[in-house]
Structure 1
Amino acid sequence: MENFFQLKKYNTTVGTEIAAGVTTFFTMAYILFVNPLILSGTGMDPQAVFFATCIGAGVVTLLMGLLVNFPIALAPGMGLNAYFAVVAAHRPGALMTWETALGAVFISGIVFIILTVTHIRQLLVIAVPDSLKFAITVGIGLFITIIGFKDGGLMSMQFIGDKATQFTPGSFIDNGSWLPDLGSLHNTGTLLTLIGLLVIGTLMALRVPAAILIGIVITTLIGIPLGVTDLSGLSHWSLPSFNHLAVGKLDLRGVFDVGLVTALFTFTFVELFDTFGTLVGTATKAGLMEGEDGKRRIGRAMLVDAFGVSFGALLGTSTITAYIESGSGIAAGGRTGLTAVTTGVLFIASLLVAPLALVIPAQATAPALIIVGVLMMSAVKHIDWDNIGIALPAFLTIITMPLTYSISNGIAVGFTSFVIINFFLWIARRKEYTKIHWLMIIIVILAVWRYGWML
C-alpha cells in the first residue's frame, strides 16, 4: 500500500485513508436510497436501479483510486438522475423510453472519452464563463428541490377554472389550468417529509457527519408508527434478483429513432459541465491539481469519469460522475486512491442491505433532495450580479430549469442570451462586455437549431 498509493509522499497513513474513505461513503450513501426512487419514475425496477447504483459506484470509484490515485468517489449524479427521469418519464409524451435514455447516456460516455483524449472537453469548459457554470449548478438545485417537494407531498397540483368541464378533453387548456399549491398537513406523508427536513437540517447545522444518511434513517423509523414506512420488504432478505436487473437493456437503436443529435444534446450538454466542474473542484480542494503531475492525473481522472458514464448505462443507471461529497473525505485527511478504494468497496458491500434500502419511503428521501438543493444554491454568490451581461443570462438559466422542468432548456436559454447580449455590448464597446469564446457561438447555433427546427 505504501509503494502503490505513495502514502509518505502525500503525508498520510493507511488508517487516515481508510477513515477518510468511510467518511466519504457515509456522506454520499444517501444516493443508494434516492437514486432508485427517482429512476423508478421512468418505469425502471427500483431493485435493479439499486443494484446498478451499488456496482456502478463501487467499480468506478475503485478505478479512480487504483488507476489515478485520487481520493474522489463517483456515483450516479444528483440532478443528472432527475433529468434522466424527466426525459424518460413513465407517461405519454415522454421524449424517450428509459431503455433509449440509457442508450443515449452510453453514447454520451463514448463522446466524453473522445472529447477527453482530444482535450476538447477541457476547452469546452473553458469557453463557458464561470458565472454561467455557477448558474447551471443553482438551476439544477432548484430543479431537484421541486422534485423533493413533489415526492414528499409538500407541493400538489390544483385545478383552477371551470370544474364542470375540467374533465372534458382539452378543457384544461380552454377553461382553466393546473397550478402548484401547498400540500396538506392532514396527510401523514407530507407531515413526515417536514419532520425529515427538520431532522436533516438540524443534524447539518450541528455538523454531524453523514447528516443526510442519518436523517433518512431517522425519518424512515418515524414513518413506521405513522404508517408511511412499509416493512413488508424485509420479510425476504436477499440480494437483488437477477431477473429484474437492467444490465445490458440499453436501446442504442432507439437513440437513432429519437434522433442522434437530439439524444446526444439532451444528455451530453447537461452532463459536460456538471461532471468536469465537480471533478476539478474536488481535486483542487485536495491540492492535487498542482504541477505537471497534477495535470496528467486530472486527465486520467477525466477518462475514468467518462468511462463511468457508459459503464453506468450498461448496468442500468443514469450518469455516474464525481461527487462533491468527496470533499468530506478530503477534509478528513484523504489524499490518495486508498480513500477511493475504501469507499468503492463499501458501495459494493451495500448490496447486502438491498431490502433495507427498498423500504425507505419517498417521504424520507424527499428531504434529502431539498437539502441538496440548498447546498447547490450556495453557488449563486459567485455570480457577478452587477454586470447585466452576465446577470440576465445567469438568471434566465436558473429560473428556466425549474419552471420548464428541463435542465437543457435552462442551459440553452442562458447561453443564447449571453451570446446575444454580449455581442451588442461588444459592438457598443461597453466595459461590461464579456468575451465570447468561439465555441459558445457554436453551442448556441446548435441550441437554436435544436429548438427552432428539430422540435
Structure 2
Amino acid sequence: MKNIDDFFKVTEQGSSLKREVVASLTTFVSLSYMLFVVPNILSASGLGKGTVFTALVLASALGSMVMGVLANYPIALAPTLGSASFFAYTVCQGMKINWATALAGVLVASILFVLITIFKLREIVINAIPQDLKYAISAGIGIFIAFIGLQNGKIIVNSDSSLVGLGSFNNPAIWIAVFGLIVTIVLMCLGVPGSIFIGMVLTAIFGILIGQIPLPKEFISTPPSIAPSFGQAVTHLGNVNTVQMGIVVITFLLVTFFDTAGTLIGMTQQAGLTDKDGKIPRIGKALMSDSIGMIISSVFGVSPLGTVVESSSGIAMGGKTGLTAVLVGVWFLIAMFFSPLLTVIPTTVTAPALIIVGVLMASNLAKINWGKFEVALPAFLVVLGMPLTYSISDGLALGMITYPITMLASKRGKEVSPIMYGLFFIFIIYLWIINI
C-alpha cells in the first residue's frame, strides 16, 4: 500500500487511501447512468446496444486509468452525452454517414488531438484564459451540473410555455430525488464523512422500499461481444476523404477540445490542484491522457471519451489523486459483469449528488471581479450560457467572444493576449460550424 501511496502521492496531496476509494465509488455511481443512456443514444446510429455497452465500459476503464497513471488527476474519462448525441443524431442520422465511417472520423480527430497536444497548443490556450473567466467556467459547470441533477430528479421538467418548470409531486420519481436531497443536505451540514455517497446509498434503499426501484432479477451477466465494432475505425479510414467528413472531424475536434478545457479547469480548481497563478500543473499530461482516451474510444467502437463533469462528485468526497481515476476504471470493469445491479441506481438516485456538487462549485462566483463590467459580462455569459445551451463549449464560446469586445470597449484591449483574440475568431467559426 505504501508503494501506491508513494506513486500517486496520496498523503502528500492531503488525501488517504480510504478517501480515494470512497471518491472513486462516488464518481462511478454518479456517472453509471451513462452505461445505459449512451448505448440507447448510439443505437440510433446503427450500433447494437450490447456492443456499445461493452465498448463503453472497456474504453472508459482504460481511459480513466490512463488519466490516473499519466496525469495523476482524480478525473474520469467516459463518452459525454453531448458527443454521443452529435455522433448518433447529427453525423449518422442527419448526415447519413455510416457509423463505422463516423468512428473513423473520431479516430482522425483523435490523432490531430495528439499532435496539437504534443506541440502544447491546447496547454497554451488553457493557460491564456484570464483567471476571472476560469472562475466563471468552474461556477458555470457547477450550475450546469446542478441543472442536470434537477432534471434527472424530475424536480425540473420540460414546459411548452416556459421551456422549463417545476415537476409534479404526483410523480413518485420526484420523491426519491427530494428524499435524497434532504438526506444529503443534512449529512453535509452535520459534516459526516462521505455524505454524498452515503446519501446515494440511502436514496437507493428508499426507492426500493417505496416500490419505485425494482430489485434486479439476476446479479451477474456475461458482457456482450464488441467484435462488431472493434477496429472498424481503422478499416474505414479511407472513407474520411470528403468535405462532409472534414467538417465532421473539425467539429469533433472543436467540441471535445473546449469541453475538455472547460471541464479540466473546473475540476482542478474544485480539487485545489491549481497553483497560485491559476495554472494547472501537469496539464500537458492530462490533455495527452484525454487524447489517448479518444483514440481508445474510436478503436473500441464508441463515441469520443472526454473528461466528465461527474468527476466533481468524487472530488467533493476528497479525491485528489490519480488513484481515484484508476479505481473508477476498476469499477467500470467490475460493472461489465454486474450490470444488472446498476438498475438500482437510476438517475433519480444520483440527482441529489449532482445538485450538491453544483452548489460547491458555484462558490467560485465569489472570486469573480464583478466590479468591472468588462469582466463581469463575459463571465456572466459563461456561467449562464452553460446550463441554458446545455453545453460547456457553447457557454464558453459566449464568454470568449464577448471578452475581447468588452475589453476593447473599456480601452483595455492591450491587456488581452493575442491568443484570446485568436479564440474570438475560432469560437465564431465553431458556432457557425455546429449550427450548419
Q: TM-score when scaled to structure 1? A: 0.74
Q: Secondary structure at the match of 1:7?
A: helix
Distance 1:374 1:61 in 2: 25
Post-superposition offset of 1:434: 7.2
Post-superposition offset of 1:64: 4.8
Summarize deviations over 1:397-446 as a string: whole Å, max 9, x none.
221222233333322221111011112223xxx6xx67211111122112
The letter of the residue matching 1:235 is: E
Within 5 A, what are the aligned runs for 1:13-412?
A: 18-36=17-35, 38-39=37-38, 42-44=41-43, 51-52=54-55, 54-64=57-67, 66=69, 70=72, 72-76=73-77, 81-84=80-83, 87=86, 106-160=107-161, 179-231=163-215, 233-235=216-218, 237-242=220-225, 256=245, 259-275=248-264, 278=267, 282=271, 284=273, 299-315=284-300, 316=302, 318-321=304-307, 323-324=311-312, 327=315, 344-412=329-397
Distance 1:32 1:9 in 2: 23
Pair 1:422-2:425 in alignment = no
The letter of the residue matching 1:449 is: I
Provide the residue aligned with 1:445 in structure 2: 425
The letter of the residue matching 1:195 is: F
Post-superposition offset of 1:129: 0.8
Q: Secondary structure at the match of 1:147?
A: helix
User: Is the alpha carbon distance of 1:40 and 1:59 closer, same or farther for their aligned partners in structure 2, counting shifts above 3 Å?
Assistant: closer
User: Is the alpha carbon distance of 1:204 and 1:179 closer, same or farther for their aligned partners in structure 2, counting shifts above 3 Å?
Assistant: same
Distance 1:393 1:49 in 2: 39
User: Is the alpha carbon distance of 1:286 and 1:59 closer, same or farther for their aligned partners in structure 2, counting shifts above 3 Å?
Assistant: farther
Number of matched pairs: 417
Q: Secondary structure at the match of 1:157?
A: strand
Q: Which moved more, 1:297-306 or 1:261-270?
A: 297-306
User: Do 1:51 and 1:245's aligned partners in 2 also have CA atoms closer than 8 Å?
Assistant: no
Post-superposition offset of 1:41: 5.9
Summarize deviations over 1:142-180 as a string: whole Å, max 9, x none.
3333333233221233334xxxxxxxxxxxxxxxxx532
Summarize deviations over 1:160-211 as a string: whole Å, max 9, x none.
4xxxxxxxxxxxxxxxxx5322111111112222112222333333333443
Q: TM-score when scaled to structure 2? A: 0.77
Q: Secondary structure at the match of 1:228?
A: coil
User: Do 1:135 and 1:398's aligned partners in 2 also have CA atoms closer than 8 Å?
Assistant: yes
Post-superposition offset of 1:271: 1.6
Q: CA RMSD in A?
A: 4.2
User: Do 1:17 and 1:339's aligned partners in 2 also have CA atoms closer than 8 Å?
Assistant: no
Distance 1:111 1:95 in 2: 24
User: Is the alpha carbon distance of 1:236 and 1:48 closer, same or farther for their aligned partners in structure 2, counting shifts above 3 Å?
Assistant: farther
User: Do 2:51 and 2:226's aligned partners in 1 also have CA atoms closer than 8 Å?
Assistant: no
- % identical equivalent positions: 29
Post-superposition offset of 1:22: 1.9
The letter of the residue matching 2:305 is: T
Post-superposition offset of 1:393: 0.5
User: Do 1:47 and 1:354's aligned partners in 2 also have CA atoms closer than 8 Å?
Assistant: no
Post-superposition offset of 1:395: 0.5
Distance 1:62 1:8 in 2: 14
Distance 2:92 2:429 in 1: 21
The letter of the residue matching 1:436 is: V
Summarize deviations over 1:113-168 as a string: whole Å, max 9, x none.
223221222210122112212222222333333333233221233334xxxxxxxx
Q: Secondary structure at the match of 1:259?
A: helix
Summarize deviations over 1:255-284 as a string: whole Å, max 9, x none.
717533333222222222323564587583
Post-superposition offset of 1:328: 6.7
Post-superposition offset of 1:324: 5.0
The letter of the residue matching 2:421 is: I
* 5+ long unaligned stretches in structure 1: 161-177
Distance 1:246 1:216 in 2: 34
Summarize deviations over 1:324-356 as a string: whole Å, max 9, x none.
566578x68x87x76765564454334343211
User: Do 1:73 and 1:344's aligned partners in 2 also have CA atoms closer than 8 Å?
Assistant: no
Q: Which moved more, 1:265-274 or 1:253-262?
A: 253-262
User: Do 1:62 and 1:344's aligned partners in 2 also have CA atoms closer than 8 Å?
Assistant: yes
Q: Secondary structure at the match of 2:165?
A: strand
* 5+ long unaligned stretches in structure 2: none
User: Is the alpha carbon distance of 1:286 and 1:350 closer, same or farther for their aligned partners in structure 2, counting shifts above 3 Å?
Assistant: farther
Q: Secondary structure at the match of 2:147?
A: helix
Distance 2:33 2:111 in 1: 26
User: Do 1:389 and 1:434's aligned partners in 2 also have CA atoms closer than 8 Å?
Assistant: no
User: Is the alpha carbon distance of 1:286 and 1:450 closer, same or farther for their aligned partners in structure 2, counting shifts above 3 Å?
Assistant: closer
Q: Secondary structure at the match of 1:181?
A: strand
The letter of the residue matching 1:126 is: N
The letter of the residue matching 1:445 is: F
User: Do 1:234 and 1:356's aligned partners in 2 also have CA atoms closer than 8 Å?
Assistant: no
